[in-house]
Structure 1
Amino acid sequence: MNRKLGKLPPRHDPRTFRLESSLGTRLITPPPAINWATDVTWPVWCNDTLGCCTQVSVASAIRCWTLAAQAQTLLSDEQVIRNYSAASGYIPGNPATDQGGIELDVLNRWVREGYERPGQPGHDYLTAFGSVPPTDPSAVRRAIAALGGLYIGVQIPNYIMQTSGDWICQPIANQTIAGGHAVWIHGYDPDWLHFNTWGECRRMSWGWFEQFCDEAYGLLSRQNWLTIRGMSPQNEDMDALIAEMRAA
């Protein structure tokens, strides 16, 4: 199967909220392990032919949230492509416009203008987001456990493009970077972070994550992450989550 990348270099904005491990005054204590998408088969969402990984991660987030909190919402290939076009300027049929996307731009547009999704009148809107330092495992675990996942960007070494299986550090492998890639982390345990990419469930070691992740964001979605009781699946109030984020 072909594998396309598509995450452009990070763009940092000092106004972005920060989700640090110190923001635990009202958030849950993260458990030793959690996985919001066990036994799930993932679509490729055209990431074998297009550099649309930043939008595949949007679709993955929506699926994880609704799978845990409501009823599963699965975007179509066509919706992912239209969202990719809206955020990153891709014109179907024009390969020169398939240039990938900047994660911060994708998330800001999700907040301001929303993206297509099935079963939703109008667009799906992100409530808020905040950056998470990849070198802070406590913050990473807290974001995944409290917010249903983590939207990350990584730099992919060539050996990942050439092999299958777990993403682990390989000192003797070719470390040349093939490009940037966006993925949605939907779980963790003491040894692994669990995610999906190119239509497959995968695992990355914590060491690989710390070495190759160059940006990470915790996302808040009032539309998708609340149950019918108006609470998250972890029984947290959305306003409290937003207040914690904005306190940084």
Structure 2
Amino acid sequence: MHAALPRAPSRLLPAWSRIVRTPRVLGHNDKVGDCVIVAGFNAVQTALARRGNFTSLPEDLPVRIYSSLTGYVPGDESTDNGTDPEMFLAWWKVNAIAGYRLGRFIRLNPADVDGIRNAVAGLGCYLCVELSTANEEQAVWRPDGFAGSWGGHAVWADEYEAADIGVCSWGGGYGIDGAYFAAPGFVSAAFALELEQA
């Protein structure tokens, strides 16, 4: 499914905030490359919070899914090679996470900040970014340095203010400067997700 969302929503608020008590999932992403799965778990946390459920999802489940999808063996760094996001999204269409399956995903133009904000104002936006080593020291990522020099990463975007987007990453909150989206190579993919209860 690669349909486009409307270019600009009919009425977009200047800011959209996540529900404050929504838990953030870390998984094992501070040690291994399960970020693709962790971003999906954070999407489910958003869906649950919007239904008034603030239960934290199990932190060990993303790495178990990562292992089953990629062959990652805990403790063996040679098997820690990350996950193709579309492979995970296809898996999620069949398998539920905390009672939610992926109904469909819509590929967005990663440079279209209005389209991404529109998705965030819906459920949220699944982003694949190519972090630079300069981003290591930034709480708000800017297009400094060379895209991808630190590596690829997946995050869940669930708030915005003006052109800046707020994301869940490594169990915490980070920001992405609006200029990051227009800079070549820093945002490699963006997906609006439609979840359905299993």
Normalised by the length of structure 1, the TM-score is 0.71
Secondary structure, in 3 states, of the residue corresponding to 2:101?
Answer: coil
Gaps of 5+ in 2: none
Of 111, 126, 140, which residue of structure 2 is paired with 1:151? 126
**TM-aligned CA distance change 1:139 to 1:183, over 3 Å:** same
Given that 2:106 and 2:191 are in contact with CA atoms closer than 8 Å, whether structure 1 keeps it comes out as yes
State the aligned residue count.
Answer: 196
Asked if 1:127 is matched to 2:103, the reply is yes
Given that 1:129 and 1:218 are in contact with CA atoms closer than 8 Å, whether structure 2 keeps it comes out as yes
Q: Percent identity?
A: 24
Higher strand share: 2
Shift of 1:182: 0.3
Aligned to 1:88: 70
Aligned to 1:21: 6
Distance in 1 of aligned mates of 2:26 and 2:158: 16
Given that 1:186 and 1:195 are in contact with CA atoms closer than 8 Å, whether structure 2 keeps it comes out as yes
Distance in 2 of aligned mates of 1:58 and 1:134: 18
Shift of 1:29: 3.2
Alignment of structure 1 residues 1-248 onto 2, 5 Å? 16-22=1-7, 29-38=11-20, 40=22, 42-112=24-94, 114-117=95-98, 120=99, 124-146=100-122, 148-161=123-136, 163-170=137-144, 173=145, 177-211=149-183, 212-223=186-197
**TM-aligned CA distance change 1:178 to 1:220, over 3 Å:** same
Normalised by the length of structure 2, the TM-score is 0.87
Shift of 1:169: 3.0
Larger Rg: 1
Secondary structure, in 3 states, of the residue corresponding to 2:65?
Answer: helix
Given that 1:41 and 1:200 are in contact with CA atoms closer than 8 Å, whether structure 2 keeps it comes out as no
